[in-house]
Amino acid sequence: MDYFEFYGLPESFELDAAQLKKKFYELSKKYHPDFYTAESAEKQEEVLQLSTLNNKAYQVLSDPNKRVDYILRQHHLLAEGDKYPLAPDFLMEMMELNEQLTDAGDEATFNQIKTSVKEASDALEAELAQQTKGFSSKTKAEQDAALKKVLDIYYRKKYLLRIQESLNTFATR
């Protein structure tokens, strides 16, 4: 079952955290297995599955990055093992950052790289916010166009995250 449908919410990249939490607790009470101990084994299994679904749905929808991943998968834009073609200029920029990181011999250079990565990350977050704003109220064609742009942002963020992990590795040396 679709997590948004399960919570009775429109598909959206922007969710009201308080509303989501309220719905989670409401369904947690409704589907708590302890309230169904006198029921049949089939009913207990059904409630256990709904309780598990509630926990998984909340875990995904409450995390903005997992929510993006989930929405892209729901629209069949993301699958395991996909080879997404990133723009050559982005790849060149990331390759330059990786080379700088490999050659970084002093703290000043390392901090400069950290700043560049942070700026790139912030720019991607701003671009993502722009593409996802008001998603549920867009037309189908507008949603499709936004989803394609979100997919590109998603892959660029993943690439940048790998560089961030390399930065963290270098920082602990």
Three-state secondary-structure class, residue 10 = coil
Q: What is the pLDDT of residues 82-103, one digit of tens each?
A: 889 999 999 999 999 888 888 8
Residue 57 pLDDT > 80: yes
Residue 171 has pLDDT above 80, yes or no: no
Neighbours of 54 (CB within 10 A): 22
Percentage of residues of the chain with pLDDT beyond 90: 74
40: region left, alpha or beta (phi > 0 left; psi from -120 to 50 alpha): beta
4-18: pLDDT as tens digits: 999 999 999 999 999
pLDDT of residue 105: 77
Instruction: Return the domain boundaries, the chain.
Output: 3-62, 88-171
pLDDT of residue 12: 95
Residue 98 has a pLDDT of 87
Tell me how far apart the alpha carbons of residues 145 and 165 are, in angstroms, rounded to a whole number: 31
The full DSSP string for 55-104 is HHHHHHHTSHHHHHHHHHHHTT---TT------HHHHHHHHHHHHHHHH-
Instruction: Give mean pLDDT, residues 65-80.
Output: 94
Tell me 138's DSSP state. S
169 pLDDT above the threshold of 80: no
Q: Determine the CATH number of domain 88-171.
A: 1.20.1280
Looking at the predicted structure, is the pLDDT value of residue 77 above 80?
A: yes
> For position 133, what pLDDT does the model report?
94
Predicted pLDDT at 128: 96
* Start-to-end Cα distance in the chain: 46
Q: What is the pTM of this model?
A: 0.86
Q: Which CATH number does the domain 3-62 belong to among 3.40.50.12280, 1.10.287.110, 2.170.190.11, 3.20.20.140?
A: 1.10.287.110
Is the confidence at residue 173, as pLDDT, over 80?
A: no
Cβ neighbours, 10 Å, residue 23: 20
